[in-house]
Structure formats: structure tokens, C-alpha cells
Amino acid sequence: MSLMNAAREVRENAYAPYSKFKVGAAIRSASGVVYTGCNVENVAYPEGTCAEAGAIAAMVAAGETRLTEVTVIADSPSPVPPCGGCRQKLAEFADADVPVVLATTAGARLETTVGDLLPGRFDAGHMTNAS
Ligand code: THU
């Protein structure tokens, strides 16, 4: 199944009673497997999780830690940009040139990369002791 169809399908399962904004995400891992996630909200609002976080959690739970492609879809007027936290989460498991497709259910499409979504990202190199 294409990432677009997988993201579109999992979006239907989003639990978004508070925002009413359903999001679906699909990622392809280095081995070629497709993992999906949807947003899962909570009455304690900050406890909600994004679609991208769900897809990444599924990949890691299955034993994989590298992703090569991402698609995110929502019923938004323009392709939905991942939140700041999700950009950092994606960057943890992807090279900067990994393609990210942002889509709307109406068919709009915006192609970007993990690197363009999070320039100047914090990475492990910033934690090494320079002295
Ligand atoms: N949301 C996502 O799941 N992914 C995004 O890229 C943007 C926002 C969710 C979080 C929340 O459940 C709802 O959309 C409204 O912010």
C-alpha cells in the first residue's frame, strides 16, 4: 500500500473528540515496512499525542529505528505542517534528506524534507564535551 493510502486510512481511526481535527501519518522504515499512526487526544489536553508520534512508536516497537519516507494527511485547508515536537521526533530517526509529503484529504500535496522542516536541529553532536 502507498504511504498516502496508508495515512489516509489510519486517519479514520484518529481519536480527536476535542479538536475534531483528525490526522494520519505513515512512515516507511529502512526495511521497507510501512508503519502508521493517528492522533490520540485526551481530556487532559497536553496528554494527547500526534499522528507522527504514533507511527514512530509503532516502528520502534517493531524493532526498527530508521525511516526513509513520511506522509502526513489531514482535512486542512492547506497541507498540515508537523508540530515542532514532531519535527524533532522525525529527525531522531531520519536523515535530513528524507522526503516528507504533507497532504490534505482534498488532494493538495506539499513535498519537503526532514531537514527543511527542522533546520539547525539539536542532535547528539551538541552533547559531546568540546574541552
Ligand atoms: N496533530 C497531529 O497529529 N499532527 C500534526 O502534524 C499536527 C497536529 C494533531 C494534534 C491534535 O490532536 C490535533 O492535531 C490538533 O492540534
Assigned domain for 42 exists:
yes
- Residues in contact with ligand 1 by the CB-under-6-Å rule are 16, 19, 21, 23, 39, 41, 48, 50-52, 72, 80, 82-83, 86
Q: Please, which residues bridge with residue 25 across strands?
A: 37, 72
24: CA distance to ligand 1 center in Å?
9
Assigned domain for 128 exists:
no
Residue nearest to atom 14 of ligand 1 (CA): 21
Pick from 19, 39, 105 the residue to mutate for probing ligand 1's pocket: most ligand atoms within 8 Å of its CB.
Answer: 39
Assigned domain for 129 exists:
no
Assigned domain for 27 exists:
yes
Find the domain containing 33 and state its range.
Answer: 3-118
Q: Please, which residues bridge with residue 100 across strands?
A: 70, 112
Assigned domain for 131 exists:
no
- pLDDT band per the 50, 70, 90 thresholds, residue 131: low
| Grid cell of 96 as nine digits | 535530513
**Is residue 102 within 8 Å of 80, Cβ to Cβ?**
yes
| Grid cell of 87 as nine digits | 519535527
Structural domain total, the chain: 1
Distance CA 105, CA 121 (A): 29
Alpha helices in 12-126 (DSSP H): 51-61, 84-93, 114-117
Q: In the chain, which ranges are E strands?
A: 23-29, 34-38, 67-74, 99-104, 109-113
Using one digit for the tens of pLDDT, what is the confidence trace for 37-58? Answer: 999 999 999 999 999 999 999 9
Give the pLDDT of residue 55.
98
Q: Which atom of ligand 1 is nearest to the CA of 51?
A: 3
Mean pLDDT, the chain, whole residue set: 96
Q: Which atom of ligand 1 is nearest to the CA of 80?
A: 6
Give me the CATH number covering residue 105: 3.40.140.10
- From the candidates 52, 64, 69, 92, which is the catalytic residue? 52
Assigned domain for 125 exists:
no
**Is residue 60 within 8 Å of 27, Cβ to Cβ?**
no
Assigned domain for 109 exists:
yes
Assigned domain for 11 exists:
yes
Catalytic (active site) residue 52:
yes
Share of the chain above pLDDT 90, in %: 89
